[in-house]
Structure 1
Amino acid sequence: MRFLSCLRDHNLPLVGLAAWFCLVGSMITIRLLDRIRDAERGTRIAWVFLSGAAAGATIWCTHFIAMIAYQPGVEVAYEPRLTGLSLLLAILGSAAALHVATRRWRPSAALGGALFGTAVTVMHYIGMQAFVAHGMVRWSQGDVVASGLFAVALGALAFDRAQGRGRFSGHWWATALMVASIVLLHFTGMSAMTIVPFAPAVGHVGSSTATIVMAIAVAGVGTLVVGTGLATYILDAQARADTRRRLTELLEGNVDGMVIVQDDVVTAANAAFTALVGTDAAVLGQPLTRWIADLAAARPDRLAQLTLTAADGEIPIEVAVRVDRRRATPQTVYSIRDLRARIAQERRIAHLARNDSLTGLPNRTSFLEWMARQTGPDSPHRAVALLSIDLDRFKEVNDMHGHAAGDQLLTRIAGRMQAALLPNEFVARLGGDEFVAAMPVAEPDDAVTLIDRLRDAITAPVLLEQEGVEASCGMSIGVALWPRDADELSTLINNADLAMYRAKGSIASDACFYEEEMDETVRLRRRMVKELRAAIELGELSLHWQVQESVGSGEITGYEALLRWTRTNGDSVSPAVFIPLAEQSGLILAIGEWVLRTACATAAAWPVPHRIAVNLSPVQLGHVDLPRLVQQVLLETGLSPARLELEITETAMITDPVRTIHVLRQLKAIGVSIAMDDFGTGYSSLSTLRSFPFDKIKLDRSFMAELNGGPQSAAIIRAVLALGESLDIPVLAEGVETPDQLDFLREQKCDEAQGFLLGRPGPLPARAVESARLAG
């Protein structure tokens, strides 16, 4: 009843003003409570101070306006120091309560609310001490205690509900409870006070116009303070909204899944993550461990490869973590990358690194690794057979049907070879038409079974889809056995290759087992190449000259320069042996240049200007700098281009006829002569003569050697001489060794001759020197 009678003693319009102020201030305080909780560490104190000022001003203004609204019927006044102290305590108490309520441990909200209720109670009763009335003031201790309990209990409940979840939680419930705590404190506390006037009351001081004006002024100042806090909150909310918008744009602009976790639940996630998990269920508010069970393995200092459980199954992912500790409640940002495409690409790259891109067979790397395991110290096998395989006639398929058909043929053959393998057998493509196969064996003949299966796979015809025709290849296989033929892998591979080359050159068999004599032959050839390279530097090479004469007059028409190799110990090496080695090893370029330069320099010093003939290797003829080299040598030695005759064979023109003819025309432009050597032994003599205007035809010595063996050789010689006469090209017959051969050539009106009958090759053209001496 005292509570209701106390309410009647108040100016209701001012009570309404106090209530409105209490409601607005409480709303602002509850929202500032959330802002303090989310504040960064550096700004937390500033927000606590601002929120404490706003909350304290709200409480104090509500209390002071309500005090002004109280009309006890006696003259009242307000002691300024205690009034100011009550305001200061309200602000400090509110700030302390807000600081405690926003700590990270669980009961902090209720404890901060209780502290808030205590601060409100202290502020109220200190303010009441500043209330000076013309009369005796009596207090009801029970109502005083009740008012304090109301403030503490409802304050604790208000702060707890502001940070709680579930039913009866949220800003509106917290605001209502905070308003209730302040209202109940004030009116219960006011009802606890009874004033006994000292003298008859004169008027109602509380209802005067000055009192109302003062209440409005207090409300205005309080509104200014609270409005400042509200404006700051609104501006900060706008800034935070802009930050969230930019964060959303940043998250959505990332192709990887981006998730922000706070208090162990997802607070933000982009569309990429939602698409990755593949579920229509809400992601926000859910723990990230719902999809990534082993999330604890992710650390900020390293990338973690984990597994994400999506709607359509498990997905391998890579997780990067960054922790933002600037806030009171730290945020963890997870970047989640789908690894399926990368893993597939890595698998493809690994496959390409270990397998042939065309046929899919293992490549050289895989082959070496497999062989290393089979022939290593821990090998369980007694012996391993290595098969080096080369396809025969494959180049013909490429030339006739194109490279696409060749690729199709290789792919089909590779598939057949793979299908022909048994367990523990291996096949790989090393490149081009080169393959290798291997198998553990107990006896050498065990490899024959694999050879037979591979022969069937390789030699069976293949239908070329684009051409609509069948194509087939042969094979040459060389077999080397570990450890019988070699205990090192590189040596084993080399020995298998040697056996394969022997099989390729064999007519009787397409498979050959390695024999030690093969290696001896190869070593001999390699040693001879090394000695030939040293022979150039040691001056063991020399030129011998063989005379060329006119058949009709017997006059000397020129000399052919012939290369000889005499070792320092006096042994001679046949040109038929070392010239092919020089061509295979590439030494022929250096040797050919030496021959050309030496021959030109020697001939330039002769007293009689005879013509000289120098042989060109097909390797030299294929070199683009040959015309420039010839011109440079002629300039350096001073030999007239008309005295130089370069001899080439038909074989040299077969490889690249267009290129060869272009080089020959450049040589002709210099002024040198071009002779076709060994005519009649090539593949297309007549077409060669038609394609280029040679200056001389040299008939091969084999026709002269067979002249007495039957009429066919004589007929061929007559035909060649008639051909030369028809084309107006002089013909020189090589290999003239008997007077009968020379008489036959004279009868057939051959132009020139060369052979042992006319003069054996020697280091100096003796007849040319003697002729010059007699002429002098």
Structure 2
Amino acid sequence: MRVFSCLVEDHNLYLTALAAVICVLGAVIMARLYRKVRASRRRMRWSWLFLGAVAGGATIWCTHFVAMMAYRPGVEITYAPFLTGISLLVAIVGCGLAMAMGSQRHRLSPEAGGVTFGLTVAAMHYVGMAAFTADALVIWSPVYVAASLIAAVVFGALAFAQVRNTVSGLKTYIAPGLLVLAIVSLHFTGMGAMTILPLAPVEGAVTGDVASALLAVGVAVVGFLILGVAIASHALEDQTSRDSNSRLYQLIEGSVDGMLVESEGVILIGNAAFAGLCGVPVDDLVGQPLERWLDEEARSADGMLVQGALTASDGEAIPVEVAVRAARRDDGAGHYRIFAVRDLRARLAQERRIVHLARNDSLTGLPNRVSFLEEMERRVAQSGGQQFALFAIDLNRFKEVNDVYGHGVGDRLLIHVADRMMTTRTEGDFVARLGGDEFMALTPVTSRLHAMEAAERLRSAIMEPMQADHADVQCGAAIGIALWPDDAREASVLINNADLAMYRAKAALATDVCFYEEAMDEAVRDRRRLTQGLREALDNDRFELHYQVQASLSTGKATGFEALLRWKQPDGSYIPPDQFIPLAEETGLILPIGEWVLRAACVEAASWAVPHRIAVNLSPVQLSHIDLPRLVHQILIETGLKPERLELEITETAMIAEMERTTHILRQLKLLGVSVAMDDFGTGYSSLSTLRAFPFDKIKLDRSFMSELEGSQQSKAIIRAVLALGESLDIPVLAEGVETRTQLEFLRAQGCDEVQGYLLGRPSRDGQNNTDAQADLTVDAAEASQAA
């Protein structure tokens, strides 16, 4: 009742109402600025903090002194100017400190800031009251003073805590109301704590009309200060908002993806890319609900990539990828979400194309090897014992088309063949291209006759001519047929069997279609196993070199050794060279094998105590390799073998194939100091032009003449002719295959220079120890010399 009576009886109600209006307006401005301080980043926070401190301090001070102007204690009132100014400074500094504390990130920071605000209101009030003097004795009630402090602190803490909560509507005015209660409750409770007893006037104080005028001017100035702060905060907020919107617009407009900014479900900004997806102008996007364009799944993206759909203006559903990022405005006015929307149509189409290319041939569009194997496994798993046929198809004369018309026409022919096979297929047929001119087909059949009819249908489709460059281009087909489950119980075996039948059809002259037959295709299977074995033998060092002695008939002494390649099997047996050497030449393995033989022979010869010559056979494939002289030179350097101790043997057939090129290579070898011998002379062309084209160091007479020597006069005549030819050309002749004394005596009588064969010694891994036959030959040579 004391506070109430002070308000009603001792105050001018009009001025009191004016103080209340100033307090309310200032509290609204202060609460708004405090929210800005809490929401702003560091760069903008100081600006908002300064304006909030000025607005809050001015509100407290102006409310207090307008209420003091309304106060009528019944005595002359005076004010000390210095303390009055200090009270304003205390209010501003205290409000700034309260806002700074309340904007920290600690959980209780708002309450701490509210307590500081309450203490600030109390400090300003009582400093202002210290500037208040009158011709009376002023008595204070401690209870009322304490009550005013408690009210200011409690309401201040509640007000600052309320600002921490995100509210909207009328609830936003709860914090300003609590601030008003903090200020008003302290002022009027503090005024109720004061009792005035009249006394004599105070000298030196500003009194009467002068004091009232000065106070009115001060209140007006501070009131305009509050108005200025409100205008400044509005201008700053507007500028900050424009800057924020400008940065957002620049950000989203510079993106190649569709981007938009949304707040509370409404589009604020959209870029041209997003407008293009929607099919509307950019200006038409602003203000529209987001759900008009994006479905629920796309709108619900929260910090992750999601796939959704965008509904264009024409109703088309466009697949999109959406990423969303939540952010707050620089001015702390609220939060918004930035949507990045990427059109997935091109990517999905590319993914479909990649999947198609992964499973289909890029040229013909037919299923590729992957698809074929999957289909094969599926049919095998679902066959249930039902028969189907696998066709392995290889085009005939396709290489000729490429060579004559070019690869462009060849590609068109492959497309034509694929289209024809797809056109003529029946229900259940599956056709795939495995690569090059190789195709595979699957079809359900009931008998071998049915399978043959299907194969003929495919062959007829393939042989359909294609018009190209004013000519009919055509190719044939070799087709191998394997039947499930008659020919195999596994998919891989069935494919292999069909391939075997196809290779047999390709080699056959009478037919282009062959069924798999185990007995007839076993040779091809053995050939494949032999090829694989060659590779493994080369990788695992399973080859051996055996050495056969070569001796002079005139002296009986060994002149050298020929290195012979042997392939030892795990059971201790050997595969004859005439079985695996031709296969190595066909597969290209002869090059690494020949290099191994040459290097191993040179290493062995370099270790011999007696410097005998080592002879190594060269394959025609090796001889055609332009890098052969460099390889020989490198091996001689690595092994330390002298070039004159190495003799390379070549066949006449190898020279005839490419005479000019081969002669060039042989001359390079001769320049290294290596000797070159013509092997198997008499079995090939035996052209004298070959001997004339290159100065061979030796002629080796083929072993076939020795085996027919005793029963054939023609063989004797040929041997005499070759020996006479060698003598005329001054080229030594070595006879191979000498196995009997009769053959040896005949060769000695005819003037042969050197011999080689089982009579002298069988090939062994250590040629230097093969000396028994050489000793016998030395004795024979001595006896022949004495007889002469």
TM-score when scaled to structure 2?
A: 0.64
C-alpha distance in 2, partners of 1:213/1:462?
A: 112
Q: Aligned pair in 2 of structure 1 residues 772, 58: CA closer, same or farther (>3 Å)?
A: same
Q: Give the aligned residue type for 1:40.
A: A
Q: Aligned pair in 2 of structure 1 residues 264, 592: CA closer, same or farther (>3 Å)?
A: closer
Shift, 1:593, TM fit: 4.9
Does 1:644 pair with 2:658?
Answer: no
**Mapping 1:148-547, distance limit 5 Å:** 208=209, 211-225=212-226, 227-228=228-229, 231=232, 234-235=235-236, 238-280=239-281, 282-295=284-297, 298-300=300-302, 302-312=304-314, 313-324=316-327, 329-376=334-381, 378-379=382-383, 382-465=386-469, 469-518=471-520, 520-525=522-527, 542=546
SS in structure 1 opposite 2:448? Answer: coil
C-alpha distance in 2, partners of 1:747/1:103?
A: 118
SS in structure 1 opposite 2:444? Answer: strand
**1:36 alignment counterpart:** 35
Q: Aligned pair in 2 of structure 1 residues 614, 233: CA closer, same or farther (>3 Å)?
A: same
SS in structure 2 opposite 1:322? Answer: strand
**Greater Cα offset, 417-426 or 342-351:** 417-426
C-alpha distance in 1, partners of 2:605/2:185?
A: 128
Structural RMSD (CA): 6.0
**Mapping 1:124-143, distance limit 5 Å:** none
Q: Give the aligned residue type for 2:757.
A: G
C-alpha distance in 2, partners of 1:319/1:680?
A: 81
**Mapping 1:114-125, distance limit 5 Å:** none
SS in structure 2 opposite 1:321? Answer: strand
Q: Aligned pair in 2 of structure 1 residues 607, 771: CA closer, same or farther (>3 Å)?
A: farther
Q: Aligned pair in 2 of structure 1 residues 549, 419: CA closer, same or farther (>3 Å)?
A: farther
Asked if the contact 2:545–2:564 (Cα under 8 Å) also holds between the matched residues in 1, the reply is no
C-alpha distance in 2, partners of 1:569/1:627?
A: 38
Shift, 1:71, TM fit: 13
**1:255-280, Cα deviation, whole Å (9 max, x unpaired):** 22333332232333333322222223
**2:757 alignment counterpart:** 762
Asked if the contact 2:37–2:49 (Cα under 8 Å) also holds between the matched residues in 1, the reply is no
Q: Give the aligned residue type for 1:320.
A: A
**1:147-182, Cα deviation, whole Å (9 max, x unpaired):** xxxxxxxxxxxxxxxxxxxxxxxxxxxxxxxxxxxx
Asked if the contact 2:395–2:438 (Cα under 8 Å) also holds between the matched residues in 1, the reply is yes
What is the number of residues matched between the two proteins? 651
Q: Aligned pair in 2 of structure 1 residues 499, 346: CA closer, same or farther (>3 Å)?
A: same
Shift, 1:648, TM fit: 3.2
Which residue of the other structure, out of 171, 174, 194, is the alignment partner of 1:108? 171
**1:177 alignment counterpart:** none
Q: Aligned pair in 2 of structure 1 residues 222, 687: CA closer, same or farther (>3 Å)?
A: farther
Asked if the contact 1:51–1:95 (Cα under 8 Å) also holds between the matched residues in 2, the reply is no
**1:184 alignment counterpart:** none
Asked if the contact 2:544–2:567 (Cα under 8 Å) also holds between the matched residues in 1, the reply is yes
Q: Aligned pair in 2 of structure 1 residues 763, 129: CA closer, same or farther (>3 Å)?
A: same
**1:170-199, Cα deviation, whole Å (9 max, x unpaired):** xxxxxxxxxxxxxxxxxxxxxxxxxxxxxx
Q: Give the aligned residue type for 2:512.
A: D
C-alpha distance in 2, partners of 1:309/1:460?
A: 50
Shift, 1:409, TM fit: 2.7
Q: Give the aligned residue type for 2:258.
A: G
**2:132 alignment counterpart:** none
Shift, 1:53, TM fit: 7.0
Q: Aligned pair in 2 of structure 1 residues 126, 740: CA closer, same or farther (>3 Å)?
A: closer
**1:79-125, Cα deviation, whole Å (9 max, x unpaired):** 98698799999999899779869842554247678778988998998
Unaligned runs of 5+ in 1: 1-9, 134-204, 551-555, 706-731
C-alpha distance in 1, partners of 2:457/2:236?
A: 85
Does 1:738 pair with 2:700?
Answer: no
Asked if the contact 2:77–2:207 (Cα under 8 Å) also holds between the matched residues in 1, the reply is no
Shift, 1:674, TM fit: 5.7
Asked if the contact 1:37–1:103 (Cα under 8 Å) also holds between the matched residues in 2, the reply is no
SS in structure 1 opposite 2:284? Answer: coil
SS in structure 2 opposite 1:445? Answer: helix
Shift, 1:506, TM fit: 0.8
Q: Aligned pair in 2 of structure 1 residues 117, 548: CA closer, same or farther (>3 Å)?
A: same
C-alpha distance in 2, partners of 1:230/1:206?
A: 35
Q: Aligned pair in 2 of structure 1 residues 306, 647: CA closer, same or farther (>3 Å)?
A: same
Shift, 1:309, TM fit: 0.8
**1:157 alignment counterpart:** none
Asked if the contact 2:553–2:781 (Cα under 8 Å) also holds between the matched residues in 1, the reply is no
TM-score when scaled to structure 1?
A: 0.65
**Greater Cα offset, 303-312 or 735-744:** 735-744
Shift, 1:283, TM fit: 2.4
Q: Aligned pair in 2 of structure 1 residues 569, 81: CA closer, same or farther (>3 Å)?
A: closer
Asked if the contact 1:269–1:283 (Cα under 8 Å) also holds between the matched residues in 2, the reply is yes
Asked if the contact 2:261–2:270 (Cα under 8 Å) also holds between the matched residues in 1, the reply is yes
Q: Aligned pair in 2 of structure 1 residues 530, 419: CA closer, same or farther (>3 Å)?
A: closer
C-alpha distance in 2, partners of 1:290/1:35?
A: 37
Asked if the contact 1:678–1:698 (Cα under 8 Å) also holds between the matched residues in 2, the reply is yes
Unaligned runs of 5+ in 2: 1-11, 80-124, 130-144, 197-205, 727-732, 745-754, 762-772, 783-788
Asked if the contact 1:381–1:440 (Cα under 8 Å) also holds between the matched residues in 2, the reply is no
SS in structure 2 opposite 1:286? Answer: coil
Q: Give the aligned residue type for 1:322.
A: R
Shift, 1:499, TM fit: 1.0
SS in structure 1 opposite 2:39? Answer: coil
Asked if the contact 1:603–1:612 (Cα under 8 Å) also holds between the matched residues in 2, the reply is no
Shift, 1:374, TM fit: 1.1
Provide the identity percentage: 39
